[in-house]
A and B are shown apart, each in its own frame.
Chain A
Amino acid sequence: MASITEIYNANPIIAASVNTARTKPIRHETRYLWSDDPDSKGPLSGLAGSREESDEDSEEGEEIDNIEIFELLRGIYDPEHPLTLEQLQVVNPSHIFIRPPNPPSPGAATNVLVEFTPTVPHCGMSTIIGLALRVRLLRALPERMKVDIRVRKGSHQSENALNKQLNDKERVAAALENTALLEVVEKCLAGEQPTLI
């Protein structure tokens, strides 16, 4: 078990949770004319034919967007505090960018860029955070999406080295071979505070 005794930021600023509830798309369809609340109840309410169920499985797709990726990342725990990356504002929906293939073709890769902000510029946990983000997205996104993880410009003193490290396939693979490191990452992902000290 790696022993890391120095606390890099002992008194971080805590942000309120980001509200990612999607605003309902306004469409000129019957159900939006009739109700804003799909689950109305009453002994006779099922009779008029259920308007909601019919289009539940419509073929209309819902593309993966930056909010959805943020939702995958928000619950990851910081390796140093019993707080999530969202609370520490390490990740932020507006710092996640998705670029679909141009021109659109089914086999081509979609590029995803996730920028994160360490709480202090000398944060030594940034590699672990970056690794946790990468592992999470490796597991949660389809293969056709190519992910870049970077620290936000100007937020870390060794920005370039860090970015290189996080996006070097072989170094990432090597890091994940290290069971101690992987265990820390797994704990961050599982929403537990890893025991570093």
Chain B
Amino acid sequence: MSTEVSMERLVRTYLAANGDEDVQEVVSAIESGSSTVLLLVRALGEPLTSTEDAVRTRGLNLLSEVLTRIPKEKLSEQATRVLTKFYIDKLEDLHVIVPALKGILSLESFSHFGDEEAVKVFEALVQNIKMRAHVQATRFIVFMIIDALLKHRRDALKSLGNVFIGGYIELANGEKDPRNLLQAFSIDRVILTEFETKSKIDDLFDITFCYFPISWKPPAGDPYGISTDDLRNALRQCLSATSLFGPLAMPTFLEKLSATVGAAKIDTLQSMTACFPIYGQTALQPFAQKTWDALRMEIFQPLNDETQDYSLKTLISFIQTSYPSTDAQLDGIAVEITKECIGLLKEPERDQAKHAIKTLGALLESSPAVAKHACGQSLDTLLRLFRDPSAGSARGAVMDAITGLLSSLMRAAADGLYDVSEVLASKKDELVSCFVSSIRSSSLRQNALNAILEITQIAGLITTEEITFMCQACTEILLEESSQETQETLLQVLKQFSRNAPKALEETCLPLLFAQLPDEAPALEADEKREHYWRILSALQSLCLEPVLFQVLVVRLVTKLDIICSLKLDDSPEALIEVSAAYSHAILETLRKTIQSKIHAKHNDFAKYLDQLVPRLFSIFLRAALSPSSVRQIPCNTILILDASNIVNLLTQTASSTEQARFVTSLFHAYFNGTYTQIAYDAVRIPKDVPFTPFATDASSKSKDLVPILCGAIIGLRKEVDLSIDIPTAMVKRFAEWCLSTADSALQRDAVLRALSTLINKRLEDITPFMNETLPSYGNDVLLNPTVSLPRRLVCLELWVWVGRALLVRSDDSIRTLVDDLFDLFPDSNIAYDAALAIGRISQGGVDVLTKENHATIRFLHMQKFFNLLIPTLITGAKDTSVPDTTRQTLYLAALAAVVINIPHAVLSQVLPSILPLLFRCLQLSDAGLRANVAEVFAAIAADDVLASTSLTEHSPSLIKALLANSVPVAGEPTSVRLRVAALKSLAAIPAAIRYDVLHPLKPTVISQLGKAVDDHKRSVRKEAVEARAKWYRYHG
């Protein structure tokens, strides 16, 4: 008895307070079993019969709300039935309809809600709800209820037959709100696919096609999160749900297609494409001619390329549906379309012929029977036209037309629509011989090459012998062709051959190319010969990616390199050494770029080259470095050494840990113990009189120059690889010491600093003594010590940059100390400016050294973290007026300008308000490079419309003046192409980002000032100026 009382009390409390916690109390009471839903209904007896509308509403609200929250098993079969009946009655009361609907919606999900209830609910909805009288939210609940009923009680509704469909149509008719429509469309789709709809199809057609095509656009700010495309797709699902729509829909489609433009037209085309296969042949048949007439309009007089593309897709769907079988006697519309298009091919260079080819291409991608017919007819016509002696200048256009067809055939083959090889079998020989004879004529070459490129991509069509034949012809032409564009196409074709039949290339093409490479470098004046070897090498580079071809490339090029580098140069002029070195450089770069492309293409045949390629290269360099002769030798050229080290780096990167460990151990033995036999090929040829000790203080410059090769390997090492001869901290210290005292060129130093940086980055845990003791002592004794010579301090500054980068990339906190050391240099005018720039260099991060490829430790969002640390210091420094001298502020501005270009966009938008005034001051720094940084940042900001309009609008007039001042050279002020280009790019981006009324007083000034910029003496600057000026001319209110 007490429970009943408590329920009544709870109900009273709720009615008085209407609070959520009161609902929750009722729910807990029912959940705990101390009360039941029926008791709640009884307790609600009085409120629910109250004469006050508000009281009844609130009472029913409580019940509905409770139903949504209690566990689904809390309602017995009996109770469910009673409640259903109860709610259905309530639907008659207009004032409580909303809570009643909500109650029904949750009731529906209870386990005992059965078929009988479903039918009753549906009937009551139809009977009592006049949809047009209710607001969107209420109608939405009705749709939700029907959707839920369809989901759980579909069979019960099916048994209602036309009563259900008729009732639903009445409810859904006239709905306009996009939120409700999305729901309605998903219901429509279920009805159309699952229900017997034949007798009601007209009405269903009316309530779906009346929305087509959707022209609704979401209001600004999109409060519902519904896009036009959401609605379009949902509606399309309905339109294509049943074949019964076919006869009704076709006239509608055709009418809408001619009446719409833009997105609505594309929607129509897409819907047609989707619906045709469902509607089927019979439905399409009566409308075939009209459909083609409509599509012809869109294809031959296209509004734009996009509409044409979609129309062609519709045509494919149309033909596929109209000609389902493969061997039928062909007649009707497809024959007519083919004939019409072939008629237009008679003048192949005209606009309409291009459209005709696209149309024929669509037929080739449709059903097999039509494709065979169209392919035979059109190729016959085109080949006849091509053979016609009077064709003359039209041949190129004919060839292009054939290419267009081949590319459709290639797609048909790739999609497996039919056996393309079989269809083309009778034409193949003639096509191939026509192409090969055409590439020999310079006027048709480009067109024929495009055709070959397409035909070889048709899977399974061209045999290896045919490829060999074409390959031979293409190679011969490659050697004599001068047009760059044609050469590129030739290489593309040969590259395609190399994938299909590498052997053909190895046998025909490569020997011819290698034979073109001279054994001696051409003389300095022989520019054409030099151009020639560049061309051959770049061809080889793009062709030799396949493993078997790459193997040939490596062997041939290294042999060539060995020959060039072994030249006796005793009394040769300096120029000969230089041209030979340049030739060697080109060869090494070819190897490197080929490896790079292979890595990019995810090849994995590199392992053996650590043993095959590296020892041969190493040996070439070592022979020269240890030669007792004082004559300069080609391999001593540092550019070549760097080339080699880049190759070593790439090969190391890709190796496994075990291979790396073995390889780097033999390198260490060579560099630190002088035992190089393991790593040098043909070691007997290396002079024995001089030991190889590059890290010794008394080592010759020539041997020290070989250090970068070792560095290349170290940079690519994986973290877990053991350094074998040294513990990491000793190795790092040895390198740092060597940089500061022994190295005698910037090149040697920088290579070692890069290696050192990667070691610090990967092995930070293992080098605590270096970080805690050695580095601070360098700081105090060298970097911050004004009595030490400036060059030595600058080397130390460089060390700071590289250690800084290593720490930045892994987000290590100790970077703070390091950067503070650099700020501490600001009072020392000798080194202050270098220190400011060094901060900028650190902020570049890992550049191309500390990369994922080199297995560096890279933390997520490391840049963000670094800049959050750095920017406040820079702001404080640049605003600090406690020192009367402005040099200090300028240093902070310079540092800001140096780092700003590296700030990630996300961070930039956060800090922009606080640094914007400083950036304006940065545009007046004397260093043109720093100003260019800032101008580039402004270009990036202006390109982001939202960021620009929020942050720049207020200051835009002064920004524009500053940018204009930097966009033309001013006598006596340093400038650069990069600065002017960046300033002009920012100016060009502004009209799109800033409202016209803010800037209109400046328009004449900008246009007149840009009139000077279009007369810049550099072409690249003029191009930007023209672009910017055109944008400003078009800037209107």
Contacts and interface: CB of A to CB of B under 8 A. Distances in A.
A26 interface: yes
B976 interface: yes
A139 interface: yes
Given A56-B977, A57-B977, A62-B1019, A11 B350 contact: yes
Nearest to A193: B304
A32 B524 CA distance: 10
B471 interface: no
Contacts of B1026: 72, 139-140
Contact of B646 (A12, A43, A193): A43
Interface majority SS (helix, strand, loop, mixed), chain A:
loop
Contacts of A193: 304
Interface stretch (A44-52, A91-99, A120-128, A162-170): A44-52
B708 interface: yes
B639 A48 contact: yes
B338 interface: no
B848 A43 contact: yes
A177 interface: no
Interface stretch (B33-41, B546-554, B585-593): B585-593
Interface stretch (B177-185, B367-375, B780-788, B1027-1035): B1027-1035
B317 interface: no
A140 B485 CA distance: 28
B972 to A, nearest CB: 15
B1017 interface: yes
Contact of A33 (B303, B578, B593, B1034): B578
B484 A21 contact: yes
Contact of B708 (A34, A44, A61): A44
A64 B1022 contact: yes
B1019 A140 contact: no
A44 B350 contact: no
A26 to B, nearest CB: 4
B530 interface: yes
A33 B521 CA distance: 11
Contacts of A48: 638-639, 642, 747
B516 to A, nearest CB: 16
B751 interface: yes
Interface string B582-612: 1001100100110010000000000000000
A47 B750 contact: yes
A196 interface: no
A193 B1033 CA distance: 19
A178 interface: no
A14 B708 contact: no
B854 A42 contact: no
Nearest to B653: A43
A8 to B, nearest CB: 13
A36 B638 contact: no
Contact of B350 (A13, A21, A81): A13
Given A139-B1029, A139-B1030, A35 B649 contact: no
Contacts of A186: 1034
Contacts of B805: none
Most chain B C-beta atoms within 10 Å of own C-beta, residue among A62, A81, A140: A140
B1017 A33 contact: no
Contacts of A26: 527, 531
B109 interface: no
B1014 A19 contact: no
Contacts of B531: 26, 36
B527 A32 contact: yes
Most chain B C-beta atoms within 10 Å of own C-beta, residue among A41, A42, A140: A42
Contacts of B747: 47-48
A20 to B, nearest CB: 11
A189 interface: yes
B304 A68 contact: no
A40 interface: yes
Interface string B814-850: 0000000000000000000000000000000000110
B1017 A44 contact: no
A44 B711 contact: yes
Most chain A C-beta atoms within 10 Å of own C-beta, residue among B524, B582, B977, B1019: B1019
Contacts of A41: 596, 848
Interface in A132-150: 139-144
Contacts of A28: 524-525, 527
B186 interface: no
B645 interface: yes
B977 A43 contact: no
B346 interface: no
A153 to B, nearest CB: 22
A36 B350 contact: no
A82 interface: yes
B753 to A, nearest CB: 10
Contacts of B638: 48
A186 B592 CA distance: 49
A91 to B, nearest CB: 16
B712 interface: yes
B352 interface: yes
A167 B938 CA distance: 40
The 7 closest A-B pairs by CB, nearest first: A142-B1015, A42-B646, A61-B1017, A140-B1026, A62-B1019, A26-B527, A43-B849
16 contacts: A12-B350, A21-B484, A26-B527, A28-B525, A33-B530, A36-B534, A42-B649, A43-B754, A44-B645, A44-B646, A44-B649, A56-B978, A57-B1018, A64-B1022, A142-B1012, A144-B1015
Interface of B: 302-305, 349-352, 354, 483-485, 524-525, 527, 530-531, 534, 538, 578-579, 582, 585-586, 589, 592-593, 596, 638-639, 642, 645-646, 649-650, 708, 711-712, 715, 746-747, 750-751, 754, 848-849, 851, 854, 975-978, 1011-1012, 1014-1015, 1017-1019, 1022, 1026, 1029-1030, 1033-1034
Given A68-B1019, A190-B1034, 9 more contacts: A14-B349, A14-B354, A35-B586, A41-B848, A42-B646, A44-B649, A44-B751, A59-B1017, A141-B1014
